Amino acid sequence: MIASAEETLGPAGQGVYRLHGAPDNANFVVRMVLEELGARYEFVSVDRAAGEQKSDEYRKLNPQGLIPVLEVPGQDAVTFETGAILLMLSERHRSLAPALDTPGRGRFLKWLFFLSNTLHADLRISFKPHRYMPDKACMPGLNAALRSRIDASFSLLEQELEACGGPFLLGAGLSCLDFYLAACARWAQIYGTCGVWPADRCPRLFRLLEELEARPSVQRACQLELIDGAPFTAPTPVAFAREK
């Protein structure tokens, strides 16, 4: 739920979050979670086509020049890194994650860091491989390695869904992991240079994607992110300019 720009951040538990991002970037994950939580937030648009995320002003928020950034009421600094933002939100709202003293906490943490440090990291390289491999002659090898790693990651997640019984990554209960996983599945199908990942290859994961598409929170987030149609099971790219 987007709050008016006039509202300001205050002490913990007051004010609104401020989410900085651009359509169909990693802020999409955070927006879905904020919508699911019913949290009050305002969205600050970052013009990627104009390179605004690399500006001096934006780098004061995230010195890496990366999206997203979340301004959190009561915190002495902004939060960046998608996984860190999801962890903070789940703890602040005591929702969408197992509690600290419950048996499922370890599974939650390991898959959160797997999504952030392995799958999402590999996808980011596949979106702009020239930044990591300027030698064009080596690009086919890099793309093949990325394809293998991304396929293997989704296979591991499919196995986990089978082991826990689904329909979500931690079993019967929805968590912020599911929104993160769904966004990664979307991006793997439509962006990048190492070929298309077919979601229907993983039937349990495909079912999870269908479950999320039916949620009002996801539908609201997609509308605000300019994402049309079925965002996860039959995704299409957002029509906007990306920087090189």
What pairs with residue 123 in β-bridges? Answer: none
pLDDT at residue 196, rounded to an integer = 79
CA distances 206 to 110, 124, 148, Å, are 22, 22, 19
**Beta 69-71 vs 79-80: how paired, if at all?**
antiparallel
pLDDT at residue 186, rounded to an integer = 97
Q: What is the rounded CA–CA span in Å between residue 204 and residue 223?
A: 26
Q: Computed from CA positions of residues 114, 157, 86, 222, in that sequence, does the dihedral angle turn out positive or negative?
A: positive
* Residue 41, φ and ψ in degrees, nearest 5: -155, 160
CB 213 within 8 A of CB 232: yes
CA nearest to 28, candidates 220, 229, 239? 220
The DSSP 8-state label assigned to residue 170 in this structure reads T
pLDDT at residue 30, rounded to an integer = 98
pLDDT at residue 27, rounded to an integer = 98
pLDDT at residue 10, rounded to an integer = 39
**Cα torsion through 88, 72, 68, 214, rounded to 10:** 70
Q: Computed from CA positions of residues 222, 223, 227, 231, in that sequence, does the dihedral angle turn out positive or negative?
A: positive
pLDDT at residue 14, rounded to an integer = 53
Chunked into runs of 10 residues, the chain (244 residues) has average pLDDT values of: 39 74 97 98 96 96 97 97 98 97 97 98 93 90 93 97 97 98 97 84 97 98 97 90 46
Q: Report the 10 Å Cβ neighbour count for 179.
A: 25
CB 35 within 8 A of CB 230: no
CB 58 within 8 A of CB 65: yes
